[in-house]
């Protein structure tokens, strides 16, 4: 069925509490020109009204001078925090502050430029016993990479010393290596779900051009989000990194590295057993799902829009989140578009809407706007009572703001600005927002003078 660009499909989409187990960015690291086209209509009705009284928070820096901090992981005991930087250095932050010696340094292996770099870190759920740390970074094209491709997405495991201060380069074990067609739309995050599987979001691989699979939708030429047969782009993968590896590191037919490497596919992944479909997929239909988090069994993904709408999704197994048919709740680059796939495509499935949507700041000038959503999680603490019960998140183009959305059923979540004290100078860009405990939240970002820092969120008046 074809629907108009301002259609609402939210009653069909995932709403937290009513679903069963629920399991980056075009301008992420440097501004990019928009590589896709979009229609010039101005949709209405986004849930971004701002109340008269705006809640506020303060920042307490715990590590500064980090260049571009892109990712963070905290041990369950809270005695070590690992901070990854875009260039490939993973720092150790302990009770006494930032150590001079890093956990490891991958600068000789990491490619930067565009949205490339070291982009994700995750600790194994049993890290205290296994010492396993997983890292995701951009590296040089591997043998067999198609001509003209930009780089290789690398997912590797490292073993951390018992004291938590070192991880030898020789402990690196490759899990997955994917050829990336372009230097943008690569996603980058990593997170373990409540069942112990590793969730790996992948971007659609760039704008119009080579490296895109042909799919069922011919309304535009920016594919990969709707295809689940030819590559592993434009979705969220769900991998078993504990079982005996059954899948090769390089699943595109390239020569394989030596050693016990690779991963297994969970047997309950939604496409397992479907002929020709890639069993690694958990969900699909994403453009650049660069940030992902879990709140219990609920999975949230921030997907970067093409030009008009930024969004956060509550993700379910087998969900199709619309790209490149839709951008948020609107048809992308079309007067009308389908709201489901044909029966011949995975049996027919609805295109699911986000739970949070707000305009790109180049499209509409509103209090809640930006250029790339950064999840974020539910706020379950007590130190910031104005935020209790909200979903706290940010945008890459912070300009001194965070955002809080109020979960509601069947419609977009109303979203308001959370002001940051001295925010215009202290919080210029945001790369990550992490919840390490009910009242332990970290923000990774840049100040206006380019100082890369990790800061705790604290009540107003308690910042430094």
Q: What is the pLDDT of residues 230-246, one digit of tens each?
A: 899 999 999 999 999 99
The candidate with the shortest Cα–Cα distance to 189, out of 210, 203, 179, is 203
pLDDT of residue 422: 86
CA pair distance 200, 187, nearest whole angstrom:
9
CA pair distance 305, 323, nearest whole angstrom:
9
The candidate with the shortest Cα–Cα distance to 154, out of 164, 162, 145, 167, is 145
CA pair distance 376, 413, nearest whole angstrom:
14
Token pair belonging to 371: 């250029």
Token pair belonging to 175: 């899990």
Sorted by where each starts, the structural domains of the chain and their CATH numbers stand as 2-26+64-363 (2.120.10.30)
- Torsion sign over Cα 398, 399, 404, 405: negative
CA pair distance 173, 166, nearest whole angstrom:
16
- Torsion sign over Cα 106, 111, 112, 118: negative
- Phi, psi dihedrals of residue 385, rounded to the nearest 5°: -60, -25
In which residue ranges of the chain is pLDDT below 70? 1-53, 207-210, 223, 253, 259-260
| 56-82 burial code (b ≥16 CB/10 A, e <16) | bbbbebbbeebebbbbbbbbeeeebbb
CA pair distance 27, 183, nearest whole angstrom:
11
> Could you tell me if 399 and 424 are in contact, meaning their C-beta atoms sit under 8 angstroms apart?
yes
Token pair belonging to 189: 């995050």
DSSP output for 41-81: ------S----SSPPEEEEEEEE---SSEEEEEE-TTSS-E
Token pair belonging to 84: 């990854």
Question: What does DSSP say about strands 81-85 and 89-94: parallel, antiparallel, or unpaired?
Answer: antiparallel
Question: What does DSSP say about strands 81-85 and 440-446: parallel, antiparallel, or unpaired?
Answer: unpaired
Q: Which are the contacts of 33, defined by CB distance < 8 A and separation ≥ 6?
A: none
CA pair distance 228, 133, nearest whole angstrom:
28
pLDDT of residue 285: 97
Q: Which helix (H) or strand (E) holds 158?
A: strand 151-159
pLDDT of residue 359: 97
pLDDT of residue 207: 64
The candidate with the shortest Cα–Cα distance to 50, out of 432, 460, 401, 397, is 401
CA pair distance 213, 30, nearest whole angstrom:
27
> Could you tell me if 300 and 286 are in contact, meaning their C-beta atoms sit under 8 angstroms apart?
no
Q: Which are the contacts of 233, defined by CB distance < 8 A and separation ≥ 6?
A: 178, 202, 203, 204, 205, 213, 224
Question: Which residues lie across from 174 on neighbouring strands?
Answer: 156
Q: Does 218 sit behind a cis peptide bond, omega within 30 degrees of 0 on the bond before it?
A: no
Which of 401-408's residues contact partners 24+ apart within 8 Å by CB, and which partners?
A: 401/427, 402/57, 402/430, 402/433, 402/443, 403/358, 403/368, 404/55, 404/379, 405/47, 405/312, 405/355, 405/356, 407/16, 407/17, 407/355, 407/378
The candidate with the shortest Cα–Cα distance to 142, out of 24, 237, 247, 253, is 253
């Amino acid at each position: 069925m074809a629907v108009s660009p301002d259609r609402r499909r939210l009653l069909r989409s995932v709403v937290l509490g009513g679903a069963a187990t629920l399991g980056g960015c075009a301008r992420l690291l440097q501004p990019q020109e928009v590589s896709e086209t979009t229609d010039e209509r101005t949709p209405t009705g986004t849930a971004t009204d701002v109340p008269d009284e705006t809640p506020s928070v303060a920042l307490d820096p715990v590590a500064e001078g980090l260049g571009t901090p892109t990712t963070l992981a905290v041990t369950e005991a809270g005695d070590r925090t690992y901070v990854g930087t875009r260039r490939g250095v993973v720092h150790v932050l302990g009770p006494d502050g930032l150590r001079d010696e890093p956990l490891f340094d991958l600068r000789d292996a990491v490619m930067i430029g565009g949205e490339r770099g070291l982009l994700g870190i995750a600790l194994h759920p049993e890290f205290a016993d296994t010492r396993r740390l997983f890292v995701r970074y951009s590296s040089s094209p591997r043998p067999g990479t198609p001509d003209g491709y930009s780089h290789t997405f690398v997912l590797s495991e490292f073993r951390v010393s018992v004291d938590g201060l070192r991880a030898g380069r020789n402990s690196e074990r490759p899990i997955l290596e994917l050829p990336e067609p372009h230097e943008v739309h690569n996603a980058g995050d990593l997170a373990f779900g409540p069942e112990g599987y590793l969730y790996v979001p992948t971007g659609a691989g760039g704008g119009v051009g080579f490296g895109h699979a042909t799919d069922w939708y011919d309304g535009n030429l920016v594919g990969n989000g709707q295809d689940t047969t030819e590559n592993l782009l434009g979705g969220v993968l769900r991998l078993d990194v504990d079982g005996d590896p059954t899948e090769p590191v390089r699943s595109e037919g390239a020569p394989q590295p030596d050693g016990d490497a690779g991963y297994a596919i969970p047997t309950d992944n939604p496409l397992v057993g479907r002929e020709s479909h890639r069993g690694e997929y958990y969900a699909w239909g994403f453009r650049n799902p660069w940030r992902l988090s879990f709140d219990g069994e609920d999975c949230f993904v921030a997907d970067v829009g093409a030009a008009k709408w930024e969004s956060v999704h509550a993700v379910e197994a087998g969900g199709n989140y619309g790209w490149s048919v839709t951008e948020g709740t609107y048809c992308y680059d079309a007067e009308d578009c389908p709201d489901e796939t044909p029966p011949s495509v995975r049996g027919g499935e609805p295109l699911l809407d986000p739970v949070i949507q707000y305009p790109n700041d180049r499209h509409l000038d509103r209090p809640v706007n930006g250029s790339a959503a950064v999840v974020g999680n539910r706020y379950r603490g007590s130190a910031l009572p104005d935020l209790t019960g909200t979903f706290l998140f940010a945008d890459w183009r912070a300009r001194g703001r965070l955002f809080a959305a109020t979960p509601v059923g069947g419609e977009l979540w109303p979203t308001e600005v959370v002001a940051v004290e001295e925010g215009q100078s202290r919080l210029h860009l945001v790369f990550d927002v992490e919840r390490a405990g009910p009242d332990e939240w970290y923000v990774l970002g840049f100040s206006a003078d380019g100082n890369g820092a990790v800061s705790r969120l604290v009540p107003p008046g308690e910042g430094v």
